[in-house]
Amino acid sequence: MSLRLYKPSVFQGNLKKKNYFEGWYFKQVNRDLSHTFSIIPGISLVENDPHAFIQIMDGSEGYTDYARYPIDQFSFRTNHFYVKIGSSEFTERKMILDVTAEKTKLTGKIYFDNGVRYPQSLFSPGIMGWYSFVPFMECNHGVVSVNHDLRGEMSINGKLTDFNGGKGYIEKDWGTSFPEAWIWIQSNNFEEHDVSFMLSIAKIPWMGRYFVGLISFLFINRKFYLFSTYNGSSFSEVRNDNELLEITLRNNISKLKVRVVKKSFCDLAAPVAGEMSRRIKESIDSEVQLQLFNKSGEQVYSGTGRNVGLEIIEGIFRYL
């Protein structure tokens, strides 16, 4: 077991791995919620096409772009989170961008203040809980920053966008492939400044079989409400159509009702056996409505999140 499991933000792989990917997801929303911009730096280690990349998603303009870099332009540190791709740098505290892709010229510096980390313990290094120690997992997930404030600006194709006073979020994945099917929902743009929410339900293959795994948190009033397979939580009342997605989460402490209003989607590249050859769809302008109840059935929170990250791989509903 590597002690890097207790630092899920750092690069978990090595450059000699085969059929391996690792990527970090940085989401930025400006102060008036008019501009959502996601940056995904990462690496794809496959025999026929090894490369580093920076994937760009502009929620306002509704497009994505993909900048490729030779492996020798990818560098990292193992004692703390630092990744450099080309001239761009990524850490828990800042992002320095100098990216030229097919449709996008992107430069800027964004600083991250007042960051909130996901809770850790000896037997739960991150959001996967004790599943972090299970070998042969196809894909591993980590939350780097639950919530942080933004300082700085970006120039996007010559147009300057001010992110001062905005909100940010960081998570990551590493392994061989994304799951066959999943749901992912994320927002930290609620009326209350410190609220953050993420939910993922996925079909997870393991040792020739599979199980449907749940990881989710709601952070309110400086407290985490955790709903995950490893702590005995479950989901039910799943409803999905062209406009709405509804899910109810439960454990022996709380119940959380989730209602998503779907908006526009863009195409993203995703890994299969380390190769960034799969195409999935993601929205970063949807809306989520949350209702949290205690075990007595009393409502303790109700709120609406904006600029929601949303991925729905339709095959997941065969397993729910």
Q: What is the pLDDT of residue 75?
A: 98
Q: What is the pLDDT of residue 153?
A: 98
Residue 202's pLDDT band (cuts 50, 70, 90): very high
DSSP state of 317: G
For Cα atoms 269, 273, 276, give the angle at the middle one, nearest 5 degrees. Answer: 20
Rounded to whole angstroms, the Cα distance separating 168 from 139 reads: 24
Rounded to whole angstroms, the Cα distance separating 117 from 217 reads: 12
Domain boundaries, the chain: 18-318
Q: List pLDDT tens digits, range 299-310.
A: 999 999 999 999
Q: List pLDDT tens digits, range 74-103.
A: 999 999 999 999 999 999 999 999 999 999
- Least confident segment among 122-126, 180-184, 214-218, 303-307: 122-126
Residue 1's pLDDT band (cuts 50, 70, 90): low
What whole-number percentage of the chain has pLDDT above 70? Answer: 99
Q: List pLDDT tens digits, range 106-116.
A: 999 999 999 99
Could you give the 3-state DSSP secondary structure of residue 316? helix
Calculate the dihedral angle through the C-alpha atoms of 144, 145, 150, 153, rounding to the nearest 10 degrees: 20
Selected residue with higher pLDDT from 273 and 136:
273
Q: List pLDDT tens digits, range 220-261.
A: 999 999 999 999 999 999 999 999 999 999 999 999 999 999
Q: What is the pLDDT of residue 215?
A: 98
- Calculate mean pLDDT across residues 4-33: 96
Q: What is the pLDDT of residue 61?
A: 83
The pLDDT of residue 314 is above 90 = no
Calculate the dihedral angle through the C-alpha atoms of 123, 124, 125, 126, rounding to the nearest 10 degrees: 170
Q: What is the pLDDT of residue 265?
A: 95
Q: List pLDDT tens digits, range 252-287.
A: 999 999 999 999 999 999 999 999 999 999 999 999
Q: What is the pLDDT of residue 207?
A: 82
171 and 198 Cβ atoms separated by less than 8 Å = yes
Q: What is the pLDDT of residue 136?
A: 86
Predicted model pTM: 0.97
Calculate the dihedral angle through the C-alpha atoms of 44, 265, 116, 107, rounding to the nearest 10 degrees: 70
The pLDDT of residue 148 is above 90 = yes
Please report, as a single letter, which amino acid is at residue 202: A
CA distance to 66, 98, 156, 241, 258, per residue, from 247 (Å): 33, 40, 36, 12, 5
Q: What is the pLDDT of residue 48?
A: 94
Q: What are phi and psi of 26, to 5 degrees?
A: -105, 120
Q: What is the pLDDT of residue 206?
A: 85
Rounded to whole angstroms, the Cα distance separating 85 from 302 reads: 41
**Which residue bears the tokens 């966008």?**
161
The pLDDT of residue 204 is above 70 = yes
CB proximity list for 153: less than 8 A, separation 6 or greater = 108, 109, 110, 160, 161, 162, 163, 164
Could you give the 3-state DSSP secondary structure of residue 6? helix
CB proximity list for 107: less than 8 A, separation 6 or greater = 97, 98, 99, 154, 155
Q: What is the pLDDT of residue 64?
A: 96
